[in-house]
């Protein structure tokens, strides 16, 4: 399945708050669909699937991309769930979103795809580019690029910039200081259920 282009609030009603997907809030409380109001106890599989879907939709990944990230995380020493979150948080589109340079991850992806973003003074147009500690992320020296990002910075998607990132608003320059810690991940999620979901497939 390719990237999701359908109604975003519908996904949020089903999975809960996804700050990377949309800033809008639905007035409706029940999950979307004909049987949304019916309350029934979800199975263990349904719980694991839901957590996996939260990751997919929040970070805007296809099933193939998420599976690739899981395989990479399993090769690294340490907690697979935490490593997986760190891999996703260090994606270029997510870093731009967390710096407040874009209101959502899809908006950040558009900035990257259209060549507005420089990493270490080189244009990078790949959203999945893995940022590393020490990387400098700058907006292109172009009036239209700067005006767009300045407008976004006045209304950031999330209130706080995580402690592994630094932002210079005047120069529109972000710096990756280190790897994100678990408590700074904005998504309410049990990552162990995601690992379990893929280990049983």
The full set of domain ranges for the chain reads: 8-87+187-199, 91-178
User: Does 8-87+187-199 match 91-178 in CATH topology?
Assistant: no
Helix (H) or strand (E) holding 80: helix 80-89
Which pLDDT does position 95 carry in this prediction? 92
At the fourth CATH level, which superfamily is domain 91-178? RNA-binding S4 domain (3.10.290.10)
Q: Residues of the chain with pLDDT > 70: what percent?
A: 78
pLDDT tens sequence across 45-68? 888 888 888 888 888 888 899 999
Please tell me whether the overall predicted TM-score, pTM, comes out greater than 0.85 for this model: no
Question: Which long-range contacts link 111-119 to residues 24+ away (Cβ below 8 Å)?
Answer: 111/148, 111/149, 115/140, 116/140, 116/142, 116/145, 116/148, 116/149, 117/92, 119/92
Strand partners, 136: 175
Q: Which CATH number fits domain 8-87+187-199: 1.10.3720.10, 1.10.600.10, 1.10.1050.10, 3.30.70.2660?
A: 1.10.1050.10
Task: Categorize the per-residue pLDDT at 161 as very low, low, confident or very high, splitting at 50, 70 and 90.
Answer: confident
């Amino acid at each position: 399945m390719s990237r999701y282009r359908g109604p975003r609030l519908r996904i949020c009603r089903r999975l809960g708050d996804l700050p990377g997907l949309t800033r809008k809030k639905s007035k409706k409380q029940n999950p979307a669909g004909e049987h949304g109001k019916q309350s029934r106890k979800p199975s263990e599989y349904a719980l694991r699937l839901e957590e996996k879907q939260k990751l997919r939709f929040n970070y805007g990944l296809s099933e193939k991309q998420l599976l690739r990230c899981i395989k990479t995380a399993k090769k690294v020493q340490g907690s697979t769930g935490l490593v997986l979150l760190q891999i996703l948080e260090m994606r270029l589109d997510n870093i731009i979103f967390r710096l407040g340079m874009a209101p959502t991850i899809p908006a950040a992806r558009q900035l990257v795809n259209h060549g507005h973003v420089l990493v270490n003074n080189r244009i990078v147009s790949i959203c999945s580019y893995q940022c590393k500690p020490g990387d400098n992320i700058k907006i292109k020296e172009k009036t239209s690029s700067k005006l767009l990002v300045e407008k976004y910075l006045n209304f950031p998607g999330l209130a706080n910039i995580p402690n592994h990132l630094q932002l210079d608003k005047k120069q529109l320059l972000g710096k990756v200081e280190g790897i994100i810690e678990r408590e700074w991940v904005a998504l309410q999620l049990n990552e162990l259920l995601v690992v379990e979901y893929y280990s049983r497939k």
